[in-house]
Amino acid sequence: MLPEFLGEFRAQLEPYKLDYVRIQATPLQPGDSLALTQSKFLGTPFLPVGTPYPHDVIVRPMVLLAQLNFAEVPPLAGYPTEGVFQLFISSTEWENADPKDYRILFHPDSTVEAQTDFSFLTPALYTELPIYKEHSLAFSRETEYGGATDCQFTPDFGGKDYYEYQETLPQEQQLELDRYCYTTGHKIGGYAFFTQGDPRNYQANRQQDVLLLQIDTDTEIEWGDSGVANIFISPESLRAKQFDAAWFTWDCC
């Protein structure tokens, strides 16, 4: 709900309203396991028989960092309602966020026969990753009206931008505005959060790209110094399920 003190800007903020899916990530306990097709951070991937396993430039197996089974995700306009999306990263070069150091896959049918032998994924591949434990994922559909660090959120608060307007508020309202417009946490869609700045600001052809997945720092997740990772894709590529057009980025304080 829009904070009461923002009521005078309601008409302006309404067009920024976006639905998104919040992700609750829970580290697995010893002995727990997830099915190949389940949504997860880390863990064993769903990979159809005949699909080559992703490798990095020195032919070392990449590691599954995130898997979303869209059949488990509440429906979100423009996003798939089925199929398995995956982000694989190089176990040692992921910090570069270079396209050669990660791989994004999408499998439209999660009912086909899957590979089961992943014995080549040795513990040594997991020692330098930003996610420390396998997580199960739960989803809830929610709504937000803006994201303070997102380049697609450009309201005019009586001639002031977000931060100029915030400085005019009492401290309690400043904090409430931050809680309302700092779109932190794990999520699908909605507004993205950054600790440094929105990289789409510097790439004219990507300024309309939408947030596909955000993975934030958490109890067992650490992107550098309390950072955050994001995957973006153009609305056209998302509708067409052309996930090879998606791109990965991350930043930290």
- Per-10-residue mean pLDDT for the chain, 253 residues long? 85 91 97 96 98 96 98 97 98 95 98 97 96 98 93 92 93 90 94 96 94 98 96 97 97 93
User: Do 16 and 145 touch, CB atoms closer than 8 A?
Assistant: yes
Q: Which two tokens stand for residue 127?
A: 């020692």
User: Do 64 and 43 touch, CB atoms closer than 8 A?
Assistant: yes
Using CA atoms, how far apart are residues 141 and 20, in angstroms rounded to an integer? 6
- Of the candidates 140, 217, 142, 225, the residue with the CA atom closest to the CA atom of residue 184: 217
User: Do 88 and 41 touch, CB atoms closer than 8 A?
Assistant: no
The pTM of the full predicted model, rounded to 2 decimals, is 0.95
Q: What is the pLDDT of residue 180?
A: 84
Using CA atoms, how far apart are residues 179 and 69, in angstroms rounded to an integer? 29
Structural domain range at position 190? 4-251
Residue 187: how many other CB atoms lie within 10 Å: 23
Domain CATH code at residue 68: 2.30.320.10
The three-point CA angle 208-78-87 to 5° equals 75
**For the chain, where are the alpha helices, taking DSSP H only?**
10-13, 162-166, 171-181, 235-239
Q: What is the pLDDT of residue 4?
A: 87
Using CA atoms, how far apart are residues 49 and 114, in angstroms rounded to an integer? 5
Number of domains in the chain: 1
H/E segment holding residue 250: strand 247-251
With H, G, I as helix, E, B as strand and everything else as coil, classify residue 122: coil
